[in-house]
Chain A
Amino acid sequence: MITLRNVNKYFYRGEAREVHALRNINLTIKEGEFSVVSGPSGCGKTTLLNAIGVLDSISEGEIWLEDREIAQLSAAEKTQIRLNDMGFVFQAYNLVPVLNVEENIGFIMRLQGYTQEAIKERVLDVAQMLQIDNKLDAMPNLLSGGQQQRVAVARAVASKPKIILADEPTANLDSTNSMALMEMMKELNTKENVTILFSSHDDYVIQNARRVILLNDGELVS
């Protein structure tokens, strides 16, 4: 589903402070996988996820989403890829502050042009699955961290993307909420066959993943 070929990423290339963040990454992520990118801080986990999510450019190599090379697309095309094919869950939740929970969850579907009825039905389904259906009218600033993260997951899942990229989704959560979120993600992976790629150094997350991709100093270890 996603294939990375000889991906290299440099920061400040050509300068004295050059950082080689990703080194010759060759990786394939298959449909329906539940994987986690792990490694010590600064090993390139977030950079790898951002590269796969075409949020960040790469310096060398290719990234294929199914049969389409996506790393060299224009900014507008990358935006379309992010909108239609990918779901994102960020460490800082990143909900739209002026939209309530229901609107946040349905936001991407709205942009994709789904009807109001379809959005409402899907939002309710996902919200029930993530146990936030009683918070649909609430504004994000009135939710706890765990609830906000569940809304962020619901937003990522609702539009049924090909892959969900979650960058340290449990970093700001306590252990109870982290466990609950992981359970829900596993359930989503099973029920909806959503491909999920985490980045995390949380042991609980790593233990629950079906595949662990280990990075060290920008290199793929396993």
Chain B
Amino acid sequence: MSRSRSLTIGAVISLMILLIAAMSFIWVPYDVTQLSIPDKLQRPNWTHWLGTDHFGRDLFSMIMVGARTSIAVALLAVGIGIGLGVPLGLAAAARQGSLLDEVIMRTNDLIFAFPSLVIAILITALFGAGAMNAIIAIGIFNIPVFARVTRGGALSLWQREFILAARVSGKSALHISVEHILPNVSNLLIVQGTIQFSLGILAEAGLSYVGLGAQPPTPSWGRMLADAQTMVSFAPHLAIIPGSAIILTVLGLNLLGDGLRDLLDPKVRKGRG
């Protein structure tokens, strides 16, 4: 698949999921908290486009509201990663080789060594299951990722003439980092942000699946899958529909990330030609 095509397809899928999530704030076909046992376990039909679950709840409505949960958790987790990781990466690059740089980078290496899912489960289980703790648990592991990407991008910039000029003119390291380095690493951050966003969607689904994500009655895709597990042999649509929603979202974001990397990273662009 050509890169520009992956950008287009990725952007269309991602936008569609975002729109569905946004729309759920103003309109859903059915109330997701309303149980209707006579309508339970319906296959997709004209009244219930994606069918109903074992409580007779409309699956399409649940997917819409579930999108909101997934996106909110993954997006805020990316926010934590950028909010803390980027300043750390900038500081490490500004003081390359210093004790600060060494401490930041070694701590990063250490966090990478932790099995993220186990720690996320540990945090959510010990501090209480819920969307907020899921965000923190996923977000913590985004910090070293963004710190590393920022440091890597910033290090090469510090050698460039325009940065030298800024230094000669007497600007402080902080000033240069914010004014000159940050805008120039933003492309890298956008690409990495898209990737971490899609990983966050998967992580949120995993946590919700084991009951540690958003709590009922808030629908979430992972929890829908957990509920489906015992009924999957006679009502496969209960598993196929939320699973497809997760796959489509992650696929869309990954394609978008690939496309953006090509669009924004001149090295890749040059390498292709």
Q: Do A and B come from one complex?
A: no
**B interface residues (Cβ-Cβ under 8 A, vs A):** none
